[in-house]
Structure 1
Amino acid sequence: MRSGIRKRNVVISGRKTSVSVEDEFWRGLKEIAFARNIKLGILVSEIDSTRQHANLSSAIRLFVLDFYQCSVP
């Protein structure tokens, strides 16, 4: 299975930026936003404001990974 890293544009606090993440992580992020009934940009803004890593793309990957690891009993 091949996973492509794609650059995607997002708006954080009115500022356009781009992140490069694999399709699977982006899909997981969209699923989390949908489950929380919030827009994807709002979720990315939350991740950005609480991240402890310099790279937003890495912070997104870790957020999605943590979400799914915590949801498994």
Structure 2
Amino acid sequence: MIRKHSATLHGHRTSFTLEDEFWAELKAIATARAIPLAALISEIDDSRAADSNLSSALRLHVLAWLKNSR
């Protein structure tokens, strides 16, 4: 199921939608890296292209993480 989530990035509240599976993987990545989930989301947001949206950037980050962990 796709759900709306929100986070505070650089003092501003933002929302994004993600499927439950991507959300679970993001939490697992944050745990594996021993960083807060909000820090991971902020890091991904900071590194995404200006013309991409946060939801897509989060999904692509999960995909890259999983591909690199093989």
TM-score normalized by the length of structure 2: 0.94
| Alignment gaps of 5+ in structure 2 | none
1:39 maps to 2:27: no
Percent identity between matched residues is 51
Report the AA paired with residue 54 of structure 2: L
Report the AA paired with residue 64 of structure 2: D
Moved over 3 A (4+): none
Give aligned pairs, total. Answer: 69
Question: Which residue number in structure 1 is paired with residue 57 of structure 2?
Answer: 59
Q: Cα distance, 1:39 vs. partner?
A: 0.6
- Cα-Cα RMSD: 0.8
Q: Cα distance, 1:35 vs. partner?
A: 0.8
* Counterpart-to-counterpart distance in 2, 1:40 and 1:13: 14
Q: Cα distance, 1:7 vs. partner?
A: 0.2
